[in-house]
Amino acid sequence: MLKGHQTWVFETKPTIIASAAVGGPYEANGPLASDFDLLHGDIRLGQDSFEKAEQKLQEQACETAIKKANLKKEDIQFLFGGDLINQIVPSSFSARTLSIPFLGLYGACSTSMEGLSLASLLVESKFAKNALVCVSSHNAASEKQYRYPTEYGSQKPPTAQWTVTGSGAALVADQGEGPKVTASTIGRVIDMGLSDPFNMGAAMAPAAVDTIEAHFRDLGRDPSYYDLIATGDLGRVGHRIAGDLLKKHGLNIPEELLTDCGLLIYSKDQPVVLAGGSGCGCCAVTTFGHFLNRMRKGELKKILVVATGALLSPMSYQQKESIPAIAHAVSIEI
Amino acid sequence: MSIKKKKKLSPTQQEYQQFAQAREPKRPILSNCIKAFFVGGLICTFGQVLQMFFIKYFHFSTESSGNPEVAVIIIITVILTGLGVFDHIAQFAGAGTVVPITGFANTIASASIEHRTEGYVLGVGGNMFKIAGPVIVFGVFSAFVVSLVVISLRALGVM
């Protein structure tokens, strides 16, 4: 049911019956390592290209989630997938392996919550009994496409972020045990005219703020309703800006309530990550791994995940276009 | 931000950019310069030692000893790039590894490694000069312009 301008409230409460997170070597050294179902020491995962490695990440995340739900892949009715690579081939190729009816999505790093919203909508509308969401990103594959070759020695500024190598999958169903998706706020594309691809946090922060404000306005809720409000991949720079911007707009979210997946996934003694994690996989593995685990343990009851995406392409950047950004918020309760 | 760029932005965008800029960490320019100075200096000192080595033991002249010296540094860079170490050194050193021949060797090696998966012709061959290409293009063009100036000055009897 639509509430306010842009928020869907799911009355049947679609349930996340299983979720899985798969990560790479840097994620394995991070503080959330124990929340991953599978960690790889080799960035190539034994494949002959980074793109194939990303496909493998998705396949493993999907297979693990399906297995955890005690189902077979034939039982899954629809698959929503997305990633950052041109024409989202890792998603399409892993959907080929899984042979589940597939809808490909692109929302840059916001794809995880875009997919979760759509899967919940599908289950809510009774067009499906269940739907699987799977998104991924791969550090080297993304660097290759968006920036420079992986081994190229350029000095990155402290505002740059590190693309997460990982894939997260969540299986949404009309019945079962687990955290429930209760509402989704679909974000607008916001462009504040920033054009530095080494500072995506600042470009995405206004989109996150816009969606968070819309969510509380549409539902008439107070931030204290939630135990945790997590943005997707703003990193250290964007997180600080978003926090201050929310205060400036009169929405007082206590500091301990507001966090960011890009901050949580790596520890401070991992210097290569600079301002923190980014990529589709960042929000996906943190939410579908860490947050949902904490909810199942009873540490968290109500969370709001705001996945943020920078909608740029290497070409739009070279053509001196600014970086538009988007954010989708999903409320998960247990 | 240039004035021209600023004009295109709406007042809200301008306000936000100032707001954001105040909260961004700045590039540590001074410490980057110091690191670049020492790492770059170290590489050049090592190059000088190599040159003297080639002069003393292989009887190269002062002019020709530069060639084997550059070749050795290029080989070392390419090996470090292939081992995945060079980009970490460069994140620390910045201009210290970009400016000497190490930077140039790294651009070509890294692009070749990266695009190996697309095949030897379209992948390695087509992308090898992806980053180094502009350097060669504008380097050659600048040399052409400078030589035209020199030839004209000579023809006019100035030089």
Q: Note whether A153 contacts B8, CB cutoff 8 Å.
A: no
- Do residues A98 and A134 share a domain? yes
Measured between beta carbons, which residues in chain B are less than 8 angstroms from residue A192? 12-13, 16-17, 20
A48, A152, A240: residue with CB nearest B87: A152
Cα separation of the two ends of chain B? 43
Q: Note whether B131 contacts A205, CB cutoff 8 Å.
A: no
A152, A237, A272: residue with CB nearest B25: A237
A51, A149, A202: residue with CB nearest B110: A149
- Do residues A248 and A110 share a domain? no
Is B36 within a domain?
yes
Measured between beta carbons, which residues in chain A are less than 8 angstroms from residue B26? 158
Is A234 within a domain?
yes
Measured between beta carbons, which residues in chain A are less than 8 angstroms from residue B89? 153
Q: Note whether A151 contacts B130, CB cutoff 8 Å.
A: no
- Do residues A132 and A204 share a domain? no
Measured between beta carbons, which residues in chain B are less than 8 angstroms from residue A205? 20
CA-based nearest distance A52→chain B, Å: 10
Q: Note whether A153 contacts B106, CB cutoff 8 Å.
A: yes
A162, A163, A323, B14, B88 from A281: Cα distances, Å: 11, 8, 20, 32, 23
| C-alpha Rg value of chain B to the nearest Å | 22
B12, B25, B97: residue with CB nearest A158: B25
- Do residues A102 and A192 share a domain? no
Each residue's pLDDT tens digit, A231-241: 999 999 999 99
Strands A7-9, A180-185: pairing kind: antiparallel
Each residue's pLDDT tens digit, B47-75: 999 999 999 999 999 999 999 999 999 99
pTM of the model: 0.93
Q: Note whether A151 contacts B95, CB cutoff 8 Å.
A: no
- Do residues B56 and B116 share a domain? yes
Measured between beta carbons, which residues in chain A are less than 8 angstroms from residue B9? 193
Please state, in angstroms and rounded to a whole number, the distance separating the CA atoms of residues B16 and A249. 12
Q: Note whether A148 contacts B16, CB cutoff 8 Å.
A: no
CA-based nearest distance B6→chain A, Å: 9
Please state, in angstroms and rounded to a whole number, the distance separating the CA atoms of residues B100 and B95. 9
CA-based nearest distance B117→chain A, Å: 6
The closest alpha carbon to A293, from A77, A19, A22, belongs to: A19
- Do residues B124 and B135 share a domain? no
CB A132 within 8 A of CB A169: yes
Mutation test of the interface with chain B: which of A89, A154, A272, choosing the one with the most B Cβ atoms within 10 A?
A154
Measured between beta carbons, which residues in chain A are less than 8 angstroms from residue B114? 144, 149-152
A152, A202, A245: residue with CB nearest B106: A152
| DSSP symbol at A33 | G
- Do residues B60 and B108 share a domain? yes
- Do residues A303 and A196 share a domain? yes
Q: Note whether A151 contacts B84, CB cutoff 8 Å.
A: yes
The pLDDT of B97-114, averaged and rounded, is: 93
Each residue's pLDDT tens digit, A58-104: 999 999 999 999 999 999 999 999 999 999 999 999 999 999 999 99
Is A325 within a domain?
yes
- Do residues A186 and A310 share a domain? yes
Check residue A271 and give its pLDDT.
79
The pLDDT of B8-18, averaged and rounded, is: 91
Domain range for B48 is 27-128
CA-based nearest distance A272→chain B, Å: 8
Is A5 within a domain?
no
CA-based nearest distance A46→chain B, Å: 14
- Do residues A23 and A168 share a domain? yes
Domain range for A184 is 180-333
- Do residues A243 and A200 share a domain? yes
Q: Note whether B130 contacts A149, CB cutoff 8 Å.
A: yes
Is A1 within a domain?
no
Helix (H) or strand (E) holding A93: helix A89-98
- Do residues B85 and B141 share a domain? no
- Do residues B45 and B93 share a domain? yes
Domain end marker among A173, A207, A230? A173
Check residue A268 and give its pLDDT.
85
Domain end marker among A114, A142, A173? A173
Q: Say whether pLDDT at A171 is over 50.
A: yes
Is A157 within a domain?
yes
Check residue B6 and give its pLDDT.
58
Q: Note whether A153 contacts B89, CB cutoff 8 Å.
A: yes
Check residue B1 and give its pLDDT.
47
Of all residues in chain B, the one with the smallest CA distance to A147 is B131
Please state the ipTM of this predicted complex.
Answer: 0.86
- CB of A321 within 8 Å of a chain B CB? The answer is no
Measured between beta carbons, which residues in chain B are less than 8 angstroms from residue A154? 87, 90, 98
Each residue's pLDDT tens digit, A275-322: 999 999 999 999 999 999 999 999 999 999 999 999 999 999 999 999
CA-based nearest distance B154→chain A, Å: 41
Domain count, chain A: 2
Each residue's pLDDT tens digit, A8-25: 999 999 999 999 999 999
| C-alpha Rg value of chain A to the nearest Å | 18
Task: Please give the mean pLDDT across all residues of chain B.
Answer: 92
CB neighbour list of residue A157: distance below 8 Å, 6 or more residues apart:
A198, A199, A274, B27
Domain end marker among A153, A173, A193? A173
Each residue's pLDDT tens digit, A220-270: 999 999 999 999 999 999 999 999 999 999 998 998 999 999 999 999 888
Residue A254: CATH number of its domain: 3.40.47.40
Task: Please give the mean pLDDT across all residues of chain A.
Answer: 95
Is A125 within a domain?
yes
- Determine the Cα angle at A211 with ends A115 and A119, to 5°: 15
- Do residues A168 and A188 share a domain? no
- Do residues A224 and A295 share a domain? yes
Structure tokens at B26: 């700045």
3-class SS string, chain B: CCHHHHHHCCHHHHHHHHHHHCCCCCCCHHHHHHHHHHHHHHHHHHHHHHHHHHHHHHCCCCCCCHHHHHHHHHHHHHHHHHCCCHHHHHHHHCHHHHCCHHHHHHHHHHHHHHCHHHCHHHHHHHHCCCCHHHHHHHHHHHHHHHHHHHHHHHHCCCC
